[in-house]
Structure 1
Amino acid sequence: MDIESLEIREQGSIVKNVDDDGREKRTGTLMTASAHIITAVIGSGVLSLAWANAQLGWVAGPAVLMVFSAITWFTSTLLADCYRTPDSVTGKRNYTYMDVVRANLGGGKVIFCGLAQYCNLVGVSIGYTITASISMAAIQRSDCFHMQGHEAKCDVSNYRFMVIFACIQIVLSQIPNFHSLSWLSIIAAVMSFSYSTIGLGLSIARIVERPDVRTTLTGVTVGVDVSGAEKVWRTFQSLGDIAFAYSFSNVLIEIQDTLKSSPPENQVMKKASLVGVSTTTLFYVLCGCLGYAAFGNSAPGNFLTGFGFYEPFWLVDLGNVFIAVHLIGAYQVFCQPVFQFVERNCQRKWPESNFVCREYSLKAPVLGKLSINLLRVAWRTAYVVVTSVLAMIFPFFNDFLGLIGAFAFWPLTVYLPVEMRIAQAKITRGSSSWIGLKLLSFACFLVSVAAALGSIQGLAADVGGYRPFKPAV
């Protein structure tokens, strides 16, 4: 029996429509899924692409961007087919990445997936806190120079902006689930397009103003810009930065779980992935290449703040406002799987606890009626506080993004989708398809290892002379 539009009746009154799994009817569409993906993909990673291109040069830089784009899109289509099992259209729903791995692979790979996914999501939370605070501080610094002159001492600490960002996230983290985040993702997606466009405009203006900036086919030059060892480490780290810029597989299943069941979720998700990845790749290539052309081999880690803090100060300010607003939304997209994982397990373990399960209604001015859960308030607030403190301890932008990208790319974006495809399609060991998928997985494993080594080396160098909670002078 088709129960997609079944109505549950309780004491003679209609409660709500439910889907085929008994849960509240999903309302997601191609537009909302694409907005979630764009919000997740065009994050702080775009800001480091000019630097990454500077390390790789005009040949390898754009080529690596396109290769990562193609791999991400291909594996996202494999993952989309795993949302329902055993049949990808009418089978049982799997609500999280771990559920998908459990249904298709089982065993130790479920634990491996959980460790990779949730450690990565926590890392993204920390990375976004760092990035948002950098942009907020850049606004104050720009205004200071504008008001007091270019020679003024306008040193600004990022720490208090991390606190402001955390306070905003504590409030927004009370949004119950992904299904309630569509409006925030759409706003965040618009913001990402806006600051990317501002960055492109500033890059073009700088290229016109300074056409003699030095760029090369192979990136930073050994013996001129860097030593031989630095060239190798920076190349590895740039691979991690690009991998981070394309990571959204860790929230793909959760995004797919918001979609209406007709047309089939996997078909809509494949279209949304194509829209999201192709759109972001266009911006990535433009930002990476034009940013490199603007700054040359000395491209900064965050290309938007690299335009200086002078004129047009208002445009730089606007770009950084857009970054901060975007990351406010993106933080929530990446945190929701962590929030829901903990809350579902607590509800399963303590089903009779009022603290864990009971929802309280609260009427608030402007916002109207709100649903409050004590576990949600306590746990999500603690999560935001802890990730913010970790961001204060390790506020290293490029190295941190590269490390997150390295650890997430191979296991979540490539290895597990490939293994599930082999198991789901019953691909014969030793066949051409099996060999091709395994070679893809192994090549991406080597890239992730290299990226991790480069980022760890960069972090070690940064930590050497760093004192936590001491603002720069």
Structure 2
Amino acid sequence: MIIFAAIQIVLSQLPNFHELSLLSLVAAIMSITYSSIGLALSIAKIAGGGHVRTTLTGVTVGVDVSGTEKIWRTFQSLGDIAFAYSYSNVLIEIQDTLKSSPPENKVMKKATSIGVSTTTLFYMLCGMLGYAAFGNEAPGNFLTGFGFYDPFWLIDIGNICIAIHLIGAYQVFAQPIFQFFENYIRNRYPENGFIHSERIINIPIIGKFPFSPFRLVWRTLYVIITSLVAMIFPFFNDFLGLIGALSFWPLTVYFPVEMYKKQAQISKFSKTGIWLNTLSSACLVVSILAACGSVQGLVQALAHYKPFKVS
């Protein structure tokens, strides 16, 4: 995690979102690669036989978990799914990097359709084949279930792909935060030399690079703080679920729906308006349930919590 943070400190010095196209492409390729490795290993495990306990409704109440625990886990899983589709908070930044011909909105609509369809296909395959391979003992982290499964080198490659993917994903989500904060500070303190100073420096291989002392200090501190939080509270799935629950309804559903209604001048009591409001309300309920499940999971994890220890 310290090595990961060191890499992020370097990459965070990229001045803006437009410099991330290559990194984003590599991250996407890595995502498809480790998912494909997991699917291939699942198929091999299924084909190899061996009995795993599976049921139509998942883990069995009274055997694997209590009824209450299963409900909480179901709510947590909703948060994980919501997080998996939480790309909407970087949608505008991505669209802003596109050329104006053809129109950005048409390109973005096509890209979103392909991206969501591809993502859903891989998620469903990993979920179904992973459950068929591991049954009710399926791990939260897909590839960890193959820890003692030959070939070991293939699992290592999968884990390397995950690390590279997360390196790119961190930047894709962090860069909009960097831009927002820096624009706010620069507008707030227009005469501050430290905040506004920037000069071009020559870096071997890379070439000319815009260097800003303010950007170096504040982005480095941001990476260090987020990395420390991740080390202190290593509750991966629960935190993912909570973040997904808190961001899913407002960013992925409510604001886009309200903007569309305003732009298309859709009446609140029209047929389309009623259906959109129903969709928004249903997603709000999902977000609330997911948040409750994730908080319960965090509370449960804290009962056995030791700082800087993997849960």
TM-score after normalising by structure 2: 0.97
Please tell me whether the aligned partners of residues 393 and 468 of structure 1 are also in contact (alpha carbons under 8 angstroms). Answer: yes
**Partner letter of residue 90 of structure 2?**
V
Please tell me whether the aligned partners of residues 5 and 223 of structure 2 are also in contact (alpha carbons under 8 angstroms). Answer: yes
Please tell me whether the aligned partners of residues 301 and 397 of structure 1 are also in contact (alpha carbons under 8 angstroms). Answer: no
SS in 1 for 2:209: strand
**Cross-structure match for 2:43:** 204
**Cross-structure match for 2:246:** 407
1:419-466 deviation per Cα after TM superposition (whole angstroms, max 9, x unaligned): 111222221121111110000000001111111111111110001111
1:223-246 deviation per Cα after TM superposition (whole angstroms, max 9, x unaligned): 111111011001111111111111
**Cross-structure match for 1:4:** none
**Partner letter of residue 41 of structure 2?**
L
Percent identical among aligned pairs is: 68
**Cross-structure match for 2:179:** 340
**Cross-structure match for 1:285:** 124
SS in 1 for 2:180: helix
In 2: Cα distance, 1:411 partner to 1:309 partner: 42
Q: Any gaps of 5 or more consecutive residues in structure 1?
A: 1-161
**Partner letter of residue 351 of structure 1?**
P
Please tell me whether the aligned partners of residues 231 and 309 of structure 2 are also in contact (alpha carbons under 8 angstroms). Answer: no
**Cross-structure match for 2:104:** 265
Query: Cα RMSD between the aligned structures?
Result: 1.3
In 1: Cα distance, 2:289 partner to 2:309 partner: 32
In 2: Cα distance, 1:441 partner to 1:457 partner: 24
**1:50-449 correspondence to structure 2 within 5 Å:** 162-309=1-148, 311-449=150-288
For residue 329 of structure 1, report the CA deviation from its aligned partner.
0.6
Please tell me whether the aligned partners of residues 75 and 289 of structure 2 are also in contact (alpha carbons under 8 angstroms). Answer: yes
For residue 308 of structure 1, report the CA deviation from its aligned partner.
1.4
Please tell me whether the aligned partners of residues 234 and 308 of structure 2 are also in contact (alpha carbons under 8 angstroms). Answer: no
For residue 264 of structure 1, report the CA deviation from its aligned partner.
1.3
In 2: Cα distance, 1:309 partner to 1:355 partner: 53
SS in 2 for 1:199: helix
In 1: Cα distance, 2:177 partner to 2:266 partner: 33
1:25-54 deviation per Cα after TM superposition (whole angstroms, max 9, x unaligned): xxxxxxxxxxxxxxxxxxxxxxxxxxxxxx
SS in 2 for 1:181: helix
* Alignment size in residue pairs: 311
Moved more, 306-315 or 214-223: 306-315
In 1: Cα distance, 2:194 partner to 2:292 partner: 44
1:111-137 deviation per Cα after TM superposition (whole angstroms, max 9, x unaligned): xxxxxxxxxxxxxxxxxxxxxxxxxxx
In 2: Cα distance, 1:429 partner to 1:247 partner: 26
In 2: Cα distance, 1:259 partner to 1:358 partner: 28
TM-score after normalising by structure 1: 0.64
**Partner letter of residue 178 of structure 1?**
F
For residue 390 of structure 1, report the CA deviation from its aligned partner.
0.6
**Partner letter of residue 189 of structure 1?**
A
1:325-356 deviation per Cα after TM superposition (whole angstroms, max 9, x unaligned): 11101100000110000111112122333321
**Partner letter of residue 430 of structure 1?**
F
**Cross-structure match for 2:291:** 452
In 2: Cα distance, 1:223 partner to 1:466 partner: 26
For residue 309 of structure 1, report the CA deviation from its aligned partner.
4.1
**Partner letter of residue 438 of structure 1?**
N
1:79-115 deviation per Cα after TM superposition (whole angstroms, max 9, x unaligned): xxxxxxxxxxxxxxxxxxxxxxxxxxxxxxxxxxxxx
Q: Any gaps of 5 or more consecutive residues in structure 2?
A: none
SS in 1 for 2:265: coil
In 2: Cα distance, 1:263 partner to 1:460 partner: 50
Moved more, 417-426 or 384-393: 417-426
**Partner letter of residue 369 of structure 1?**
K
Please tell me whether the aligned partners of residues 309 and 316 of structure 1 are also in contact (alpha carbons under 8 angstroms). Answer: no
In 2: Cα distance, 1:293 partner to 1:310 partner: 16
Runs of 4+ in 1 over 3 A off after TM superposition: none
1:203-225 deviation per Cα after TM superposition (whole angstroms, max 9, x unaligned): 11111223421212111111111
In 2: Cα distance, 1:204 partner to 1:225 partner: 25
In 1: Cα distance, 2:271 partner to 2:200 partner: 58
For residue 265 of structure 1, report the CA deviation from its aligned partner.
1.1
Please tell me whether the aligned partners of residues 54 and 132 of structure 2 are also in contact (alpha carbons under 8 angstroms). Answer: yes
